[in-house]
Structure 1
Amino acid sequence: MRNRSVISLALVAGAALAVSACIPRGGPVGNAAVPQPAKAVSLGAYLGPWYEYGRYENSFEKDCEAVTANYARRSDGLIRVTNTCRQGSVDGKVKQSVGKAKIVEDSADAKLKVSFFGPFYGDYWVLDRGEPGPDGLYPWSIVGEPSGRYLWLLTRAQRPDEATRALLERRARELGYDWSLVRLTRH
């Protein structure tokens, strides 16, 4: 009986190691000291459609333009995450990924675990965000995770105004991100 438990544990550990080797890795570390999220997040003000203003380049968004993300409540309490991009150009072939997210306890709803690969979850931290507008929604957010290899700058506007663009660059730099690694997304 004990041998079966040891064998089962070894198989599970081996499978987890094999799958983790298949999960895409980010590029260079663009922030060696990622801060904790600056503000609490109201899920109701965060849900809905977002446009990607810019990002650190990564393998799963290679050659993506016109990137959008949409967050919606699911009946099971999780959040449906739908990421869409156009391959190669703003008129390119549509590529879409649907995943799920759950809020990390005791994070003021600013940290989520997101999965696009079955039971495997990655960190998604809302590091900063704007104050809700007249529509009750956050107008912008800066998203990262603990390794400093990933960064996303999101806005509600497809083409944010100059003031918002300047604010996003300033805040990303203040949070410790290397702006020279940011790839602006075309829409």
Structure 2
Amino acid sequence: MKKTLILLSLILSACMAKMPANMQTVNGVNADQYLGTWYEIARLDHSFERDLEQVTATYSLRNDGGIKVINRGYDIKTQSWKSAEGKAYFTEPANADGTYKGQLKVSFFGPFYGAYHIIALDKPQYNYAMVTSGQAYLWILSRTPQLTYPIKQELMAQAKALGFATEKLIFVKQANQVEYEAGRHVVH
């Protein structure tokens, strides 16, 4: 039990680590527009999403003004759906125009919170986003199950410039995904 608590403390410390100086969060995030379902396009590997495909994050408003988070994915090893429910809150008060700085704290268990930093966002449409909680964690999200190749490349270039190990990105399979193979689009 003691080892588990120590490990949990180390993981939480890593999640709450300060962002590097060269990394800025997006300002002017419209919370209402950010709500809804996001598809996970790519991520850096970590144990809590290992073997998951068709991963989505759905955000909705909580009664206390926070954000309800439901992460869902299909575990290819157990052939079953997994989900986790959490809560998130912006860490700074709203700007004068009602928007926020893209820094949130998120919790999936008890009083323990991890960082959630929006470091890229397609404004004003909110079609894609790039999120991190420090150098070891990175997610590329989209409102649709896939992103066009040029946008993926642009986000990966931004991530690489910020020091992320983009060569270790895992591209998440989504249902009915169209892939570009051997000069043609293929539906899987």
**Counterpart position of 2:150:** 163
Structure-1-length-normalised TM-score: 0.77
TM-score when normalising by structure 2: 0.77
> Which is richer in strand?
2
- Whether the 8 Å CA contact 1:33–1:176 is kept in 2: the answer is no
Distance 1:177 1:20, change over 3 A: same
Contact 1:111 1:124 in 2 (8 A): yes
Q: Is 2:62 the counterpart of 1:70?
A: no
Match in the other structure for 2:106: 114
Provide, for residues 150-181 of structure 1, a one-character-per-residue CA deviation record: whole Å limited to 9, x for no partner: 11110111022222222221222233212112
1:140 to 2:132 alignment = no
Tell me, in whole angstroms, the C-alpha distance in 2 between the residues paired with 1:152 and 1:46: 15
Instruction: After TM superposition, give the deviation of residue 88 of structure 1 in Å.
Output: 1.4
Give the corresponding residue for 2:183.
Answer: none
Query: Any unmatched runs of 5+ in structure 2?
Result: 95-99, 175-188
Deviation at 1:64, TM superposition (A): 0.7
Tell me the alpha carbon deviations over residues 9-30 of structure 1, each in whole angstroms, 9 at most, x when there is no partner.
xxxxxx9x9645336847xxxx
Q: CA deviation at 1:105?
A: 1.2
Give secondary structure in 1 for the equivalent of 2:113.
strand
Contact 2:129 2:142 in 1 (8 A): yes
Q: Distance in 1 between matches of 2:27 and 2:157?
A: 17
Q: Does the aligned pair in 2 maintain the 1:72–1:81 contact within 8 Å? A: yes
Partners of 1:20 and 1:46 lie apart in 2 by: 34
Structure 1 residues 154 and 100: alpha-carbon distance in aligned structure 2, compared to 1, 3 A threshold: same
Identical counterparts, % of pairs: 33
Matches within 5 A, 1:21-100: 21-22=7-8, 25=11, 35-88=23-76, 92-100=79-87
Hey, what's the Cα distance between the residues in 2 that align with 1:103 and 1:117? 18
Alignment: residue pair count: 162
CA drift at 1:44? 1.5
Cα RMSD, aligned residues only = 2.6
- Structure 2 residue matching 1:145: 3-state secondary structure: strand
Q: Work out which of the residue numbers 138, 143, 151 in structure 1 matches 2:138.
A: 151
Tell me the amino acid that sits aligned with residue 8 of structure 2.
C
